[in-house]
């Protein structure tokens, strides 16, 4: 256990201190876990959440053709034409990203919305770093609102046997959807304050031209397919269904584009635009988290929660929420939630209470807490990867200037709502 903890700490310290080499620290940490026998070689493949990896890769391909079509620039023009200044343009875009992410995985949302944000920043000559960060944290926030919004929501839905409707109204009470949405409403005021100095007037000049509408149709098809797929079970590939859908639609999009343009240019574009560094970093993080889970570190944390709670349900709920906020700021929330769900159920059984309040506390804390640091959620990692491809480096301090106030506002509102309704 000590070896796993040392490797984990060294990896994250390295990633925080030397952001340019993040992928090397993530992959190196995974390799160290295997080399020192913390995680057997035979378990490495299963440690990676291939559904998320495939979904990101497929969405990246779809987004590459979507950007090339000129649609993001057109959307930017439309949005700019309906907002009085840059501040409101950024806030509206962030809120839009949040709404989309309630129905689509937050990583996919970032990949779809970020190009629009980059286009707006280009037109107004703004630094895109805080804008993309705002989009990423907004996407990560509302991912917990519905069953299809985030992988963590899917994990809870599967574990607690919750349907899409149960996330909105369950057992005669307003469900976690409303807690998340109230938190999202509170963050609007945070964003307005953060970007209050961005008063550049919005001037709508030349309307960008869209050269191909098929990529936009494919984007919509992906969204609709993910929502529909959430209601069905697919034999053999069910745990990979979202990833398979995204990859399949991406391939169809590439083929139609090659046929239309009579060449391999679309395939070359997708291959060159694929963010291999982000994919590699996520794979490394999944392996490392699996290793520390196997080493018993996550279980030790759960036991610590129970000991501190000492039978007091409100105190235990508070520990789970804010403990998850702190932990998920440094640990990717997908494997963390997967590891903690059975622990939370065990705590509820031990205390002879309904586990729902603890489930919702875990989901809200882990999902929202991921917004504190650049590595707490896959959406953040993806957003930073997009910025790095544009030539911008994002420091941890720069990210936290937005992430911390945004997170604490949303967490406090959700925390109070869940306890008042379900406590």
Tens digit of pLDDT for each residue in 249-291?
999 999 999 998 888 989 999 898 888 887 888 888 889 888 9
Tens digit of pLDDT for each residue in 392-422?
888 888 999 999 999 899 999 999 999 999 9
| pLDDT score for 173 | 94
Tens digit of pLDDT for each residue in 118-137?
888 887 888 999 999 999 99
Exposure pattern of 205-228 as b/e (b: 16+ CB <10 Å)? eeebeeebebbbebbebbbebbee
| pLDDT score for 302 | 66
CA dist., res. 159 & res. 393, Å (int): 38
% of the chain residues with pLDDT over 90 = 27
User: What distances in angstroms separate CA 55 from CA 166, 246, 263, 378, one per listed residue?
Assistant: 25, 5, 26, 12
Q: What are the tokens at 25?
A: 């620290």
Tens digit of pLDDT for each residue in 300-355?
776 776 777 777 889 989 988 998 898 888 776 776 787 788 778 877 877 788 88
Model-level pTM greater than 0.75?
no
Structural domains counted in the chain: 1
| pLDDT score for 22 | 80
| Segments forming the whole domain that contains residue 242 | 2-422
pLDDT for residue 166 is more than 80: yes
Exposure pattern of 13-52 as b/e (b: 16+ CB <10 Å)? ebbbeebeebbbbbbbbbebbbeeebbeeeebeebbbbbb
Tens digit of pLDDT for each residue in 171-194?
899 999 999 999 999 999 999 999
């Amino acid at each position: 256990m000590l070896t796993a903890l040392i490797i984990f700490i060294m990896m994250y310290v390295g990633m925080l201190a030397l952001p340019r080499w993040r992928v090397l620290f993530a992959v190196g940490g995974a390799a160290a876990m295997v080399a020192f026998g913390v995680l057997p070689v035979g378990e490495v493949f299963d440690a990676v959440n291939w559904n998320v990896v495939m979904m990101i890769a497929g969405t990246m391909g779809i987004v590459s053709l979507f950007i090339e079509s000129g649609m993001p620039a057109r959307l930017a023009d439309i949005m700019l034409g309906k907002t009085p200044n840059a501040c409101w343009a950024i806030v509206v875009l962030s809120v839009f990203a949040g709404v989309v992410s309630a129905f689509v995985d937050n990583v996919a949302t970032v990949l779809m919305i970020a190009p629009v944000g980059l286009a707006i920043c280009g037109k107004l000559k703004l630094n895109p770093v805080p804008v993309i960060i705002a989009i990423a944290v907004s996407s990560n926030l509302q991912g917990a609102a519905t069953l299809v919004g985030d992988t963590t929501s899917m994990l809870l839905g599967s574990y607690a046997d919750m349907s899409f409707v149960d996330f909105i109204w369950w057992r005669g009470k307003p469900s976690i959807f409303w807690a998340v949405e109230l938190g999202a409403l509170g963050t609007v005021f945070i964003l307005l304050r953060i970007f209050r100095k961005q008063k550049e007037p919005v001037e709508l000049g030349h309307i960008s031209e869209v050269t191909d509408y098929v990529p936009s149709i494919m984007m919509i098809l992906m969204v609709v397919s993910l929502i529909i797929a959430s209601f069905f079970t697919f034999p053999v590939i069910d745990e990979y269904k979202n990833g398979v859908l995204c990859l399949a639609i991406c391939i169809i999009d590439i083929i139609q584009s090659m046929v239309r343009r009579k060449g391999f240019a679309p395939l070359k574009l997708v291959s060159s635009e694929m963010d291999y560094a982000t994919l590699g970093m996520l794979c490394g993080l999944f392996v490392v988290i699996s290793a520390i889970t196997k080493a018993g570190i996550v279980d030790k944390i759960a036991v610590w929660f129970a000991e501190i709670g000492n039978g007091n349900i409100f105190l235990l709920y508070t520990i789970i929420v804010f403990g998850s906020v702190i932990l998920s700021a440094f640990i990717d929330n997908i494997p963390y939630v997967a590891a903690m769900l059975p622990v939370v159920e065990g705590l509820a059984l031990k205390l002879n209470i309904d586990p729902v309040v603890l489930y919702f506390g875990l989901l809200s804390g882990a999902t929202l807490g991921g917004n504190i640091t650049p590595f707490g959620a896959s959406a953040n990692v993806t957003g930073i990867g997009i910025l790095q491809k544009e030539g911008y480096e994002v420091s941890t301090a720069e990210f936290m200037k937005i992430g911390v106030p945004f997170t604490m506002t949303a967490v406090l509102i959700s925390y109070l709502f869940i306890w008042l309704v379900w406590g």
